[in-house]
């Protein structure tokens, strides 16, 4: 395969296109990460706890069953520690 890329202009061009697509997506990802950071900053500026918001965002990504299981385990561990 390595020789195919080196010997074939088509494969080299295809490889270049993949790399350029990845680079564009990485740029978009960085821009979106910056946007998300700004939203957290706005929320903080309005008095919201960003750690709690991050946890809520994370929790909402999970199915209810998985979330309930994690909460039950956390509660069990807290009880074991006398919390």
- Please indicate, yes or no, whether residues 77 and 41 belong to a single structural domain of this protein: no
Question: Do 4 and 29 fall within a single domain?
Answer: yes
Full-model pTM = 0.70
Same structural domain, 43 and 70: no
Domain around 82:
50-83
- Give per-residue pLDDT as tens, 41-67: 999 999 999 999 999 999 999 999 999
Instruction: Verify that 28 and 40 share a domain, yes or no.
Output: yes
Residues 33 and 61 in one domain: no
Under DSSP, is residue 6 helix (H, G, I), strand (E, B) or coil? helix
Structural domains counted in the chain: 2
Q: Are residues 71 and 36 in the same domain?
A: no
Per-residue model confidence as pLDDT tens digits over 14-43: 999 999 999 999 999 999 999 999 999 999
């Amino acid at each position: 395969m390595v020789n195919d890329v080196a010997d074939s202009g088509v494969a080299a061009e295809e490889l270049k296109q993949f790399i350029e697509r990845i680079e564009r997506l990485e740029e978009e990802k960085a821009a979106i990460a910056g946007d998300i950071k700004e939203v957290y900053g706005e929320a903080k500026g309005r008095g919201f706890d960003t750690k709690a918001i991050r946890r809520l965002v994370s929790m909402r990504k999970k199915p209810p069953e998985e979330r309930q299981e994690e909460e039950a385990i956390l509660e069990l561990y807290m009880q074991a520690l006398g919390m």
